[in-house]
Amino acid sequence: MRVDEYVRHDATSLAGLVERGEVSSDALVECAATAAAALNPQLNAIVSPIDVGATPTAGGLLHGVPILTKSGHGRRGGPAGAGSRLLAPLYVREDDIFCGRLRAAGVAFVGATTAPEFGLYAVTESQLHGPTRNPWDLTRTPGGSSGGSAAAVAAGIVPVATGGDGGGSIRTPAHCTGVFGFKPSRGRTPFEGNYLFNISVNHVLTRSVRDSAAFLDVTQGAYPGARYRTPPPAGPFAAAAATEPGPMRVGFATALPGFARADPECSAAVHGAASVLESMGHDVTESSPSVNWAEFFDAFMCAWTHSLPWTIERAERLAGVRADAETLEPMTLRYMEHGESVTIRELLEADQVFRRVTRAVDDFFASFDIWLTPTAVSEAPAVGAFDPAGAEESAHEYSMRVLRDYSAFTPLLNVTGHPAASVPIARSSRGLPVGVQIVGPACDDARVLAVSGQLENAMPWRDRIPPIWAGTRHEEGGR
């Protein structure tokens, strides 16, 4: 198989080719290695050369599909630290539950993608690895914290890469790079690193909705010790993604009153999606949950930083290295200081805010079936605009700037636990991808995937190719 053939298949298609004996897993891995060697010097999305000796577990629905894991994910042999000099020498000894389920599905783990320090940032820039760049425009970021994964998938190096989403870290990179990014419901997939607030989830970034659904099918489900357990799905998510959802009540919004408003390009994308859904027979109305956004984001800042001092103390003991300006980003040190200042009273007050906003979103879904918003306030920012090593503000000032100017629309759903996806249905006047966020009722991942699939059919994105793309190169891959 040549690379220009490989890159035109999604993971579902590649798994079918392997199952039918039309191509070997080794050939697919070789294609990924060829693509990475050609493109990664420009993108800086992968932390080491592709493992051409990667051997998939026999059998499984996704046998032979090459994937990358985000740095910091619990994949045996992968980097233990996400973009941090403090943990740079350490590697994961055993798969966590999420990566174990992926391995059992038969994927070929071929390497790891870049991530910012501890996954804290909405861009993928670190002193350890430098900036990761967007295949649509090398002066732009692919977002964060799953920016390396998004860039690698958008460029065609692999069809799928893992991501973690604690405030939009799957959805905003998907928006920046023109891929599909789905944040499952809280508890749908294993995430063993959560602390008090359990705002983070694991999943993948893909080029197609059906791939995201297929990977959700093989990773979803409760596990021993899980704090949250979602109801099992009525059927396979892959089937839901291919099913017409029927008439729905759709609410949409392009602003968070009193806090942020999407720029004209991102706003237009939402109006475009709303118009398409209306033309399909859905009832579409401008509406939003009733949320005090300034209060919410102040509470989110407490949740975001409260556990960081404890996390860094554990990392120091693990690495045997002191956490200081030589091993941590300047902004991480400020985040740590902010976390040290958070009181128990403030955490309890944040929890009350989170209960109120969760009730507000649930009340909204008593009247609506889907909520549409921009995925982000603006298109992909310039590299360096939010560099954690270059910003001079306080941790709070930096975070509020990132939120108001870029990533305000995603964190709410991490707190409430509702499923949400970014669909790459539009492009800006600069030619950059623009995503629209689809949010569903509590635990209704199937509905979000069904609507995403409906929009994918009506407003297809598979043929939108970035300038930095493996398919424009015709080097031979494996046979």
Residue 320 has pLDDT above 90, yes or no: yes
Q: Is 437 helix (H, G, I), strand (E, B) or coil?
A: strand
Residue 208 is assigned to a structural domain of this protein: yes
Cα four-point dihedral sign 86, 92, 97, 102: positive
Instruction: Output 421 or 194, whichever has higher pLDDT.
Output: 421
Residue 240 is assigned to a structural domain of this protein: yes
pLDDT of residue 473: 55
> What is this structure's pTM?
0.97
pLDDT of residue 7: 98
The stretch 71-79 carries a mean pLDDT of 96
d(CA 374, CA 12): 28
Please give the share of the chain, as a percent, with pLDDT higher than 90.
Answer: 95
Residue 465 is assigned to a structural domain of this protein: yes
Residues recognised as catalytic: 70, 145, 169
Residue 474 has pLDDT above 70, yes or no: no
Which pLDDT band, with edges at 50, 70 and 90, does 312 fall under? very high
Residue 261 is assigned to a structural domain of this protein: yes
Residue 296 is assigned to a structural domain of this protein: yes
Assign residue 38 a region: left if phi > 0, alpha if psi is -120 to 50, beta otherwise? Answer: alpha
Residue 398 has pLDDT above 60, yes or no: yes
CATH of the domain at 72: 3.90.1300.10
Residue 477 has pLDDT above 70, yes or no: no
pLDDT in tens, 436-471: 999 999 999 999 999 999 999 999 999 999 999 999
Written as six digits, the tokens of 141 are 């970021």
Q: Based on the structure, what is the number of domains in the chain? A: 1
Residue 96 is assigned to a structural domain of this protein: yes
Q: Domain range holding 338? A: 3-472
Instruction: Output 228 or 265, whichever has higher pLDDT.
Output: 265
Question: Angle CA(227)–CA(229)–CA(234) in degrees, nearest 5?
Answer: 170
Residue 387 is assigned to a structural domain of this protein: yes
Q: How far is CA 251 from CA 254, 265, 279, 304, 438, in A?
A: 11, 19, 15, 28, 10
Average pLDDT, the chain: 96
pLDDT of residue 475: 44
pLDDT in tens, 39-66: 999 999 999 999 999 999 998 999 999 9
pLDDT of residue 196: 83
Task: Pick the closest to residue 421 from 97, 144, 165 (CA basis).
Answer: 165
Residue 478 is assigned to a structural domain of this protein: no
Question: 372: which strand partners?
Answer: 252, 438
Question: Angle CA(366)–CA(372)–CA(373) in degrees, nearest 5?
Answer: 125
pLDDT of residue 66: 98
Which pLDDT band, with edges at 50, 70 and 90, does 339 fall under? very high
